[in-house]
Chain A
Amino acid sequence: TVGAVALDMNGNLAAATSTGGLTDQLKGRVGDSPIIGGGTFANNEACAVSCTGEGEAIMRGVLAHEVYAMMKYAGNSLQAATDKAIELHADKLQGDRGILSMDNTGKVAFGFNTGFMKRGYQAADEEPFVALWE
């Protein structure tokens, strides 16, 4: 799975996620990526989110929308909301999770419970940042 979130010069946010799914999945199985609020969500009022990992757990946890809701209704910061969404319902929803999120000021947050997430970030007139393990 791959994804991107962005803030443009007009202050608008967008999120995009695209995936090849799971090895050996059944024909016709659809994962979290195209489920709005599951693997992909964006609303200028708070943040844009793209998820990766065990799709069934992300869908059942509605994780992308949870990041948005924890910011909008519970006043969490972007990173706090992202970290909480990674841990959400961990007793009932097992599996790898990675969440990429950006708020309407251009701040970014990465959350993941796997120790490895391919990721990158670049803000206006700053150097690009790319990371895997670190």
Chain B
Amino acid sequence: MKKFAIAIHGGAETIKPSEIDKKKEEEYRRGLADALKAGYDVLEKGGSALDAVEAAVNSLERNPVFNAARGASLTQRGETEFDAAIMDGNTLRVGAVGAVRYVQHPISLAKVVLQKCDHCLLVGTGAEEFALANNLPLKAPEYFVTPEKKEAWLDKQQERAVKKRQPGSMSD
């Protein structure tokens, strides 16, 4: 029997069980099961490990409960920026993108870099233009922002504002 396998993660963080309700837990488990199936189906049909990891990560990038593409954390400016990388263990070819916006599937852009670019890592507008040149789907900024991440960002802004007001802080 031919051997194949896939494993995935959706992030690791230090949190208490009380911080996650049953509904959220269920969303995580369902999202993980969906992504696992997406990758497993590729392998079961004889597909490559490269296509399988892309399919699994695409599923997680579309799912707003995971911090990648849709559902991403917000930068200090309140914007979303993505990083992604993919590597082929056979050829040692790699494709990576950094600080890109608007690209619906950053891992698919990384894979096109692996397949079509002489470089390993493209960042910012160069990577976005490479996505355009290869007809990858782009999305408006609001597609990526979830209420939950917006709230986390607002909390951070308030935290920073309080720190600024404390005596001895930078502001005069």
Question: When the two chains form their complex, are residues B4 and A20 in contact, meaning their CB atoms are under 8 A apart?
Answer: no
Residues of A contacting B10 with CB < 8 Å? 2, 118-119
Question: When the two chains form their complex, are residues B28 and A132 in contact, meaning their CB atoms are under 8 A apart?
Answer: yes
Q: Mark A8-46, 1 if CB is under 8 A from B, else 0.
A: 111111111111111111111111011110011111100
Bound together, the chains give a CA A124 to CA B96 distance in angstroms of: 29
Question: When the two chains form their complex, are residues A7 and B87 in contact, meaning their CB atoms are under 8 A apart?
Answer: no
> Restricting to B72-111, which residues have a CB under 8 Å from any CB of A?
72-77, 79-90, 92, 94, 96-99, 106-107, 110
> Restricting to A89-134, which residues have a CB under 8 Å from any CB of B?
96-98, 100, 102, 104-108, 110, 112, 114-125, 128, 130, 132-133
Residue in B closest to A115 when the chains form the complex, CB atoms = B14
Residue in A closest to B71 when the chains form the complex, CB atoms = A20
Q: How far in angstroms is the closest Cβ of chain B from A123? A: 4
Residues of A contacting B107 with CB < 8 Å? 16-18
Interface magnitude class on chain B: 35 or more
Most central of B50, B80, B86, B88 by chain A CB within 10 Å: B86
> Restricting to B116-172, which residues have a CB under 8 Å from any CB of A?
120-121, 123-124, 144, 149, 152-153, 156-157, 160
Q: How far in angstroms is the closest Cβ of chain A from B47? A: 7
Bound together, the chains give a CA A125 to CA B144 distance in angstroms of: 35
The 3 A-B residue pairs whose C-beta atoms are closest, nearest first, are A20-B72, A98-B12, A13-B89
Q: Which residues of A contact B (CB under 8 A)?
A: 1-31, 33-36, 39-44, 48, 50, 52-53, 96-98, 100, 102, 104-108, 110, 112, 114-125, 128, 130, 132-133
Q: Which residues of B contact A (CB under 8 A)?
A: 1-15, 17, 25, 28-29, 31-33, 35-37, 39-40, 43-44, 46-50, 52-54, 56-57, 60-61, 66-69, 71-77, 79-90, 92, 94, 96-99, 106-107, 110, 120-121, 123-124, 144, 149, 152-153, 156-157, 160
